Structure formats: structure tokens, C-alpha cells
Amino acid sequence: MQKRKICVVVTARPSYSRIKTALAAIDHHPDLELQLVIAGSALLDRYGNAVDFIEKDGFKISSKVFMVLEGENPTTMAKTTGLGLMELTNVFYNLKPDAVVTIADRFETIATSIAASYQNIPLVHIQGGEVTGNIDEKVRHANTKLADLHLVSSDDARERVIKLGEDPEKVINTGCPSIDLAKEIRASDLYFNPIEKYGGVGPEIDFQNGYIVVMQHPVTTEYHESKKQILATLEAVDELEIPTFWFWPNVDAGSDGTSNGIRSYREKMKPQHIHFFKNMEPRDFLILLKHSKTLIGNSSVGIRECAYLGIPVVNIGNRQNRRLRAQNVIDVKAKKPEIKFAIEQSIERKNITSSNIYGDGEAGKKIADILAKTELSFSKTITY
């Protein structure tokens, strides 16, 4: 029997972390052959060169696709997507996969969806059905309407995808693969010195008695607000004088507003308790989080992995909007006083229980099993 060829397109560092255990499960499944395509910012130095981690993790890459236009503005986002669509079409045409997997809701993921669905290749969408805001909201649900099989991360998401007119039999809650890694980390007693291992920039902070972690991305459609927003967080964190590990944002329209904000604040204010990192291997990042007092920012890690790990989170602004939350999350607006107050509260929280709302840590395996066994099709009609 021929193995099913499953083509997964990874376009960014965070998408890789999120899908990694599924990739491994597909790669090892006796009935599946993994075709891994690395594209977009996952190939670029400026965004952490995910491709290097991926190769180090032992994955064989079937195709690499440069597609990111310079400019980091809404216009180049759209053109990047068009370029990616043209290129990925070619890649699928040559690889002839039995199914293509598109991940979540980054703007360029719709290129994967169109390239597959227009070529009559069954399209699998991972992590549909959630709710945020902005352009990723539009992209996510458009991906759902282009996809033939939906592997979602929560019951809440499953209900929503079904409401969108998808056949309930084609909507399966596998949990989120990012929780798989969190499960492994939670069970381990790994520890390391992040400054020794990753360098980073900024003062040599004393983090032995506890630290906090910050990761805040720009919010796409509020391009000119990015700088103002990041400064609110910077000032709040700086004033608290708690040892802090701060992570640079990944690529998105507006990242310059955010990056410039961080850069200029660093140069002018020389914050004494903040050490900055450009990126970190996902497992190390989770280890770091596991031992932290709280996570601050707007990363989906706070909503997902931290729910499972039981880490308190201060979630800033509307980037995660209406995504399903466990009780580990405090939501605040992007205002300095509110952020500062919420951080103080968050680090005092005790006894946050681990939540399974985003899965039980077996998502990768479940995804691979479904991809091996489910009937694949590329034609559908809305259910109502």
C-alpha cells in the first residue's frame, strides 16, 4: 500500500512550535509520508531563522519558498500572500500530496489554502474556529471555508466551525499540538540558564529569585499604534523593577513600530532589570515559562500552553480577543497603569490548576492518526 503523502506548510517560527509534535507523529507514522515545506519568515534571519531549528530537529525539508516582501506594511502583506500563492501552487503541483495542512490564521496561511483547494487537493486546517479580531480573524474563517477537514483545538472551536456550515463529521477536536510539548515539559524537571545559553542583549539580571517573561506582538490593523502600545508595556515592566526576560516580536505588519519602540526605549532608558532575547527554542521557552512568575503580553502561548502549565498570564489588548481562556488569564487594555496593576496581581496568584481546554497533550498523535485513516475529499457544500 502506498503511503499517504501529507504536505505541511510552515511559514513562521511560532507556527513551527505549534505543529512540531504533529510533524513528528506524521513523520513516524507507518502509513504517512511527511512533505515539509518551509516558507515565508521561517526562512529569514530577522525572524529567528526557524529553518535552522527545524533541520536540527531532524526533519527533511521538501521545499523552501522565499516569499516575504520587504516593507512590513499592509501592502507588502498582501503581495507576500500573492507571491506565496504562486509559489506554493508550484510546490504542490510538483510534490503531488494527498492532503495539504495549513496552520491557524497568519495572513499568509490563506496562500496555502488556495493553492491546495484550487488544485483539488484535500485541505486540512489546524486550529480553526477560534475567535480573535483583526485580519487574522478574517483569515482564519476564510481558511475554514476553503478547508475540507478541520482539526481544531477545543470544543468551543469545534462548535464554531460547525456553525460556520461545516459537516460535523469533518470537524474533530484533537487538542492543540503545542500542549503536547507543554505536557512533556510539565512532567520534566529541566532547567537552564537562559543568558548563558542564548546570550541576548541587556544587563546581566539576577533571576534566581524569580522573574517574569514578556512577549508582545504588534496588532496588525493598528499599525501606528504599535509603538505606543509597546511603550506602555515597557514602562509598566520597567517601573516594577522585577527581573524580566523580554522576547522580540515576530514578523507582522507593524513589527517596525514595535521593534523601534523597544529599540529606542532600550537606548534612551537603559532598563536595568530587562534582558532581551530574539528567539529561543520552543522547549526552552516553555521551561523558562514553567519557572516564571507570570507571562505578560499578547502571545497565544499565554492562552494555550500557559493554561495547561498553570502559569498566570497578563494578556494585553485585543490580539487574543475572544479566544477561549482558562482561569490563568487576566485581560487588560494596553495602558501602563492597568498593565502594571495586573502584573502585580498576577505574580501573587497561587494554585492555578492545569486546564485541558486546549488538549490533553496527545494532539500530534491524534492528528497523524486521523490523517492516516480519515476519508479525504476536496468537495463540499455548506450544511444550511
Residues near its own copies (CB under 8 A):
41, 43-46, 63-71, 74-79, 81-87, 89-90, 93-94, 107, 110-111, 114-115, 117-120, 131-135, 137-138, 141-142, 144-146, 160, 163-165, 221, 256, 321-322, 378-382, 384
**At its nearest, how many Å lie between its own copies and the CB of residue 326?**
21
Q: What are the grid coordinates assigned to 206, written together?
A: 539576577
Tell me which residue of 209, 119, 213, 126 sits closest to 161, measured CA to CA: 126
**At its nearest, how many Å lie between its own copies and the CB of residue 315?**
16
**At its nearest, how many Å lie between its own copies and the CB of residue 323?**
11
Which of 137/344 has CB closer to its own copies? Answer: 137
**At its nearest, how many Å lie between its own copies and the CB of residue 287?**
28
Which of 109/355 has CB closer to its own copies? Answer: 109
**At its nearest, how many Å lie between its own copies and the CB of residue 149?**
13
Q: What is the DSSP letter of 294?
A: E
Neighbours of 202 (CB within 10 A): 18
Which of 69/370 has CB closer to its own copies? Answer: 69
Which of 66/192 has CB closer to its own copies? Answer: 66
Which of 119/354 has CB closer to its own copies? Answer: 119
Residue 196: burial class (beta carbons within 10 Å; 0-12, 13-18, 19+): exposed
Which of 79/186 has CB closer to its own copies? Answer: 79
Neighbours of 260 (CB within 10 A): 13
Residues facing residue 10 across a β-bridge: 38
Spatial contact of 66 and 31, defined as CB atoms under 8 Å apart: no
Residues facing residue 114 across a β-bridge: none
**At its nearest, how many Å lie between its own copies and the CB of residue 129?**
9
Which of 248/308 has CB closer to its own copies? Answer: 248
**At its nearest, how many Å lie between its own copies and the CB of residue 148?**
9
Q: What are the grid coordinates assigned to 64, written together?
A: 523552501
Which of 46/336 has CB closer to its own copies? Answer: 46
Please give the Cα distance from 293 to 211 (Å, whole number): 6
Which of 234/253 has CB closer to its own copies? Answer: 253
For helices 177-187 and 282-290, give the axis angle rounded to 10 degrees: 50
**Beta strands at 149-152 and 171-173: parallel, antiparallel or unpaired:** parallel
Gyration radius (Cα) of the chain, Å = 20
3-state secondary structure of 35: strand
Spatial contact of 280 and 200, defined as CB atoms under 8 Å apart: no
Spatial contact of 92 and 98, defined as CB atoms under 8 Å apart: no
Spatial contact of 335 and 233, defined as CB atoms under 8 Å apart: no
**At its nearest, how many Å lie between its own copies and the CB of residue 295?**
24
**At its nearest, how many Å lie between its own copies and the CB of residue 351?**
33
